[in-house]
């Protein structure tokens, strides 16, 4: 039991990955320049075309969902027709 414990302790002290670590480039400063630039755009659209598509899709889905909910509230508020 002691030998098993000692072997497990040695394994746990080793690094798990044998691959060398890559140097990751820090892109925070580039992002700060883009988002702090005074170009008249709101922050949620400064990321480019992808942000614009996501914004318009979200706004469209929210509008459709609101219209759907209002329609069914109107339908539910009407008296039931007798057969």
Q: What's the pTM?
A: 0.57
Which spans in 1-83 are helix H?
A: 2-13, 28-36, 49-77
Rounded distance, CA 35 to CA 45, Å? 9
What pLDDT digit, counting tens, does each position of 6-20 carry?
887 777 766 555 556
The pLDDT tens digits of the residues spanning 37-74 come to 898 888 888 888 999 999 999 999 999 999 999 999 99
């Amino acid at each position: 039991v002691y030998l098993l414990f000692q072997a497990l302790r040695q394994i746990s002290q080793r690094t798990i990955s044998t691959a060398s670590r890559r140097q990751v480039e820090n892109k925070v400063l580039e992002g700060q320049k883009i988002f702090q630039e005074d170009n008249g755009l709101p922050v949620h659209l400064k990321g480019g075309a992808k942000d614009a598509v996501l914004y318009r899709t979200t706004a469209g889905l929210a509008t459709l969902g609101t219209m759907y909910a209002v329609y069914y509230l109107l339908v539910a508020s009407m008296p039931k027709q007798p057969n």
